[in-house]
Amino acid sequence: MAAQLRQKTTVGVAWSLLERAVFRGVGVLVTLVLAWFVVPESFALIAVVSVCLAFVNVIVDGGMTDALIRMRACSTSVLNTVFVCNLVAAVAMYAGLCAAAPFLAEFFRQPSLVRLLPVGALATLFYALSAVHRAQLVRKMNFRVQMRVSFPAAFCSGLIAILLAMLGFGVWALVFQIVLQAALQAALYWRVSDWRPQLKFHWQDFREIFAFSGFLLLARILNVPFRHMYVIVITRLYAPEVAGLYFFAERVRNLLLDQLVAAIQSVTYPALSSLQNDDARLKQGYRDIVATSAFLFAPLVIAVVVLAPLFVEVILPERWLSASPYLQLTILAGLLYPLHAVNINIMKVKRRADLVFWVGVVKKCMAVGVLLVSLRWGVMGVLVGQVINSFLSFLPNSYCSKRLLGYTSWEQVVDYAPSVLLAIAAGGFATGLQLLLDLTPVLALPMAAVAMLATYGSLAYLFGMRGLRFGLAILGDLSSRRSQSDC
């Protein structure tokens, strides 16, 4: 990547990754602690609540925050228009979700949803109140301030949820965690932001924004039921305990993997949008991002796949022991997430929101086909199908990147595969060492983790991995900036 672009994104990448690491680290810790006090069936209930909120929040956002982020300048009237749209949509969707609660409870055969959904849906109102404030911080690449919002919100809501779970509130502890986290984030975003919205709506601004966000909204509306279709199908067809085990595994995957991708995406999208008319530099920028993402991402995925049985046995109570294969397969399905995110980002930067929509349609048809075929083999067949579908989705995504930017599927594999191969080699070494020493699970878990990390780092240094070199360059930029600020 060009030096100028690297300097522009360096601090943003560092703070965004730190924000996500802290925020999601707290999330993982809270989830693991809650597993000691909450049964898998409660996670099945919260799975349905989470899917409903994901769908509602997509409509509330309407793709407008993405439109704000990519705009070169945002007037006050534009910000006010987006805020009003978000707020009106949130109120309407809250009312609709409350009205739909009895029908959803009957569909999923979970009567408790009649009471849980109206409370959990309050999070949507808080999301609408802070969406524009967060978008402004992303535009300015001010991820340091975002961390000051995310960490206390995650920590406080998680702590309260744990206390409620210990007091026997069960699934309500998980619901209150969702609502409290959204409320605290909204309050803190307002506190750190100088902008105060006015309830003014301008049709001209709305038309300009919706010209870009409309296709994104359609794509995301379609994406929510398909992205969560495994939760929906497993919750509907299988026992609540099975659904709870799957959602627990998916929640851990989202906390570990999805947010790492989101951190990279949230920084690179506004930064690389400035190069949308310079294809050569834009392509090189994305190649560096893919190599660096793979260097960070691949060892995390392979480590979880290798260490999941030990991790579940050592960390979680006995009733969760059967969660190990769920965790392994759901994590493995996320191996190509950075490539998917980069390809979608290219379409957005090149102003082809229509392609985001139509490629999404193709991938969803593929996903439904794989799901229908895999159902005959039960829940494990469904999970294996999820892994297969993730790899198949790479084909239409990368095809569009080739057409728009000349970034071919083979080039993406060349940039991504070396880190994956090194991670597999390191995981194989750690597994062999674990079998050779035959240690107790409590000792084997940290030993295998350290062995894999050391092996991966050594191999990356030995082979001079591009992701490692780029990461070291980022650290060098951070160090020089800090030295300059100290002076």
Overall pTM surpassing 0.75 (yes/no): no
| 223/229 Cα distance (integer angstroms) | 9
Task: Quick: pLDDT tens for 341-391.
Answer: 888 888 877 777 778 778 888 888 898 899 899 988 888 998 999 899 989
DSSP string, 85-114: HHHHHHHHHHHHHHHHHHHHHHHTT-TTHH
What pLDDT does residue 384 have?
92
DSSP alpha helix (H) spans, 438-465:
441-463
What pLDDT does residue 2 have?
47
- Output DSSP code: residue 37: T
Residue pair 85/206 in contact (Cβ under 8 Å)? The answer is yes
| 279/285 Cα distance (integer angstroms) | 10
What pLDDT does residue 233 have?
85
Task: Quick: pLDDT tens for 67-108.
Answer: 776 666 677 777 888 888 888 989 999 999 999 999 998 888
H/E element, 67: helix 64-70
What pLDDT does residue 29 have?
75
